[in-house]
Structure 1
Amino acid sequence: MINCLIVEDEPIARRGLLEHIEQIDFLNPVAECKNAIEAGKLLHGHQVDLIFLDIQMPRMSGIDFLKGLPNPPAIILTTAFSEYALTGYDLNVLDYLLKPIHFERFFKAVLKAQFYLNSLAKSVSEDGKPYFFIKSSHKIEKIVTAEVIYIEAMANYVIIHTTSRKHVAYISFKSIEALLPSKQFMKIHKSFIVALCAVQSIDNNKITLINQTLPIGNSYKFAVMNRIEHDLYKR
């Protein structure tokens, strides 16, 4: 399921986009925003994979809004003016829809978005090492699963700490959790997922990894201890 956001100042255009979205079973409309200011606030508290972004809006244009996002989700621009197309592609957007937006053209754009987002799914390389892809800044980066130590949630993005470096990725915490094998990773807090092989010790409400100590959330403590004890007695 792709969580999408409509950012459009015209009520009729918003309604038209919503009607298109509701006809496609893999799209989930999270919200509709009348301007970029509303959209910026919403992104801090919601998981959004795809934005349908109008270019010409009051107070702040869609282009300026997009330039200000450090790690934007997938973007499909919408506008009544074709001269903005080149600017949009310079900003690495997925597609550009010219109003009025017909369903056939809309469907083609969202299929492109689905293919792009699915390309972030987990895979296995030729040497047998599982990996997955993330979007970091304007690049797609490969992360070897065995090199991940822990993952930290930060607003509308995550920080992936590996044995060699850290990666800032625009992906929801829930989505990154789904990419990780559950037998090798454990959620210990609403903001932290750790690799079991990196765990050095557990002391009360803290867990120590390689050169890092993290808190265990109160609501996760029972599950964490059960998981550790289960793995201990299996040996």
Structure 2
Amino acid sequence: MINCVIIDDEPLAREGIAKYVMEVDFLHLIDTCENPVELMKIMDQQHVDLLFLDIQTPKMNGIEFLKIVQKPPMVIITTAFPSYALEGFQLNVLDYLIKPITLDRFLRSVNKARDYHHLLTKAANHPGPGSAREEPPADYFFIKCGSKFEKIHFADILYVEGMQNYITIYTRKGKYVTLLYLKHLEENLDSSAFIRVHKSYIVSIDKIEAIEGNEIFIQSCRIPISRNYREQVIQRVVSNKLWDRIKFS
């Protein structure tokens, strides 16, 4: 069951979305409110999975809320203003519904929310040590690229480049851009397989083909090594694997 809240300053709009929610068996409406300030009080008291968020609301608009809240629930924007679509997706909203919202469009949006919620729940519920049927760690993960969820296999990653709050993942199949901090990705990568070489770059160790000066070569790409990371890179990548006369003397 997905717990949701409707945020809209128009009573008729709240009522209309609430009726749609009642038509969907996997949605549970916790509450409705007029603005994000009221919403934050609700979130302090109850677990919320999904927001139907209007943009033009009093006290604080929906975009302002998304910029300040940490780890927001899934968000479906509901608005009469299509001009905010790009900014909304840059803030990682799940979907963007333009009023008047049809039931068909609403159902397509919440089905997307259900699929994403399933992925999040599955990732959070790996069986712990000692379970009767412990599953091996997943060899892949999903990221959101625009309106699409892309599956990334760890083994396919060549390197990752970070820029402000975006990252670009370069793989054998192509590159993928998503709204994510490089630090957050680094925390979820296997430290024995990946290494930070620069404040803006993480590379797959087994994809490194050569190191020259302050550059790493992966296929036709050159990735810079910063002065702060060079010693660590040489120690982990080269030193234990270096064959030279000293090693065999």
Q: TM-score, normalized by length of structure 1?
A: 0.54
Unaligned runs of 5+ in 1: 136-164, 167-235
Per the alignment, residue 100 of structure 2 pairs with 100
Residue 109 of structure 2 aligns with which residue?
109
Larger CA Rg, structure 1 vs 2:
2
* 1:165-217 residue CA offsets vs partner (Å, 9 max, x unmatched): 89xxxxxxxxxxxxxxxxxxxxxxxxxxxxxxxxxxxxxxxxxxxxxxxxxxx
Residue 20 (structure 2) aligns with: 20
Distance 1:128 1:12, change over 3 A: closer
Shift of 1:62: 0.5
Separation of aligned partners in 2, 1:31 and 1:130? 37
Q: Percent identity?
A: 47
Q: Is 1:63 matched up with 2:34?
A: no
Task: Determine which of 124, 132, 136 is the counterpart of 1:129.
Answer: 136
CA distance in 1, matches of 2:21, 2:111: 12
Partner of 1:215: none
CA-based RMSD of the aligned residues comes to 2.9
Aligned amino acid, residue 136 of structure 2? K
Unmatched 5+ stretches in structure 2: 128-133, 144-186, 189-249
Structure 2 vs 1, CA of residues 13 and 130 (structure 1 numbering), >3 Å: closer, same or farther? Answer: same
Equivalent residue letter for 2:109:
A
- Conserved 8 A contact 1:52-1:78: yes
> Cα distance 1:133–1:32, how it changes in 2: closer, same or farther (>3 A)?
farther
Greater relative contact order: 1 or 2 (C-alpha under 8 angstroms, separation 6 or more)? 1
The reply on whether 1:77 has 2:92 as its aligned counterpart is no
Return structure 1 stretches of 4+ with deviation > 6 angstroms.
Answer: 131-135
Amino acid at match of 2:28: N
Q: TM-score, length-normalised on structure 2?
A: 0.51
Check whether the contact 1:9–1:33 (CA below 8 A) recurs between aligned residues. yes
Aligned runs of 1:1-235 on 2, under 5 Å? Answer: 1-122=1-122, 128-129=135-136
Change (3 A) 1:45 1:134: farther
- Contact (CA 8 Å) 1:85, 1:96: kept in 2 or not? yes
Deviation digits for residues 60-106 of structure 1, max 9, x if unmatched?
10000111111100000011011111110010000000001110000
Aligned residue pairs, count: 138
